[in-house]
A and B are shown apart, each in its own frame.
Chain A
Amino acid sequence: MTTTIELRNVSKVYGSGAAEVHALREVDLSVAAGELVAVMGPSGSGKSTLLTIAGSLEEPTSGEVAIDGTLLSTMSRNEQARLRRRSIGFVFQDFNLLAGLTASENVTLPLELDGMRAKTARALALEALGTLGLADRAGTFPDDLSGGERQRVAIARALVGDRHVLLADEPTGALDSTNGESVMRLLRTASERGVAGIIVTHDAQLASWADRVVFLRDGRVVDQTLHLPGPESLLEPEPHR
């Protein structure tokens, strides 16, 4: 399998002097196409930072990040924005749909930002929404959608077009268990279609949907497991790798 997302020796430091905080310390992580990786860890362990650095929303203090083999550090700000439009999809806990746009317009947004004609983008958006069972809600504004529907729209937006990198930060955090499981199933399906995904979650049961689980503590990767013996085992990390 080809490596889609690769973090090499990535560190991130916030602040300076006495206020210095090491959010990530020399993290290495590779995600192949079609692989779904769950990132778990206590609060402040650096999970969200890892996700934002992988998605080019933040720059690492040191280390390298490569998407499809291209180093982000070699890309300009506009090239990184183009990468996010074409290759990377984000799903957030708070859905983060734009209230002024309908469900389908939210989905077409990255495509239209990338210059695709509105009609073409809308056809792709409707197809994506249809796949997620929201074809009849395409013209609805986010305020009129339920929490589960909003997150499915957010997933549709993250996957629409040729995107093959999915980064989800607590995608089920604001959902009940039924909707949460439904969302994870969708992410799993996307992964099986060849999308490389990283999911940050606190929920060990949901993490079990992933191919691999990475456990972070104090900014370090303290555990990786390929085959999950059970969610409970993740809560007893080894003291050293």
Chain B
Amino acid sequence: MAAKRKTVTRADHDRLFFSRWVLFLLAANEAAGLPEVSRQRLHALLFMSFASSRYYSIEPLRQRARRTPQGPYYRNAHLALGGLVLGCMVSVEDFKAHPAPRDLQFEGVFRPTLKGLEVARTMRATVTGSRLYRFLLDMCLASAYATDPRRGDIVATPEPGTTREGILLDNILEEDLTYRRAMKRYGDILELQDSPDEQTPTVEGLSSIEESLEQQGAYNRKDVVAAYQTLLMRRSARAA
């Protein structure tokens, strides 16, 4: 007798999409040579990627994040990360259990493994996969460009256990226009948009940069994203 067909539920899809997004983000971070990803930075990177993905015509996986003292938090991203770690696609260093009432969280430093890179490469073979990876790689390359010491007009003094690039990257993530607007509001939810037909402040910012660059010459979306992050970094330096 033929096995009973089971449908893949919406929740299953959601979990799979999260795993792909998280794995691609870690692979792109590695490919761009950015500092290693802590749990906190991973969620902040996810927030900025969701806030800007529509600029690349990619639907974000989430419209809101939970507000925690360490920044934005996505429950599903954490579950995806756990799955990737157990599947030996992501390695963990400095593991620290961090039991939270609603989620079993853990802290650590995360990097893709060789197996993880190979899986990511396979998943990039699809049209959606390659578009998504391209976007995330552009975002990470933009951070590498903005924080490049050779372009350094901004000083950061790293404390033990941190790097100059790491501090600057965290500053960029904190200054993201969408994140700033969400943080100004009350409640334990960080929203990307006020209404479905409105663009996120990040996408608006990127579009205004694109408009202003168009008058100067030919640029790619990657250059626009890099310019955006450079401006955020300067804002943060001015506020300090």
Genuine A/B complex: no
- A residues lining the B interface (CB < 8 Å): none
B residues touching A (Cβ–Cβ < 8 Å)?
A: none
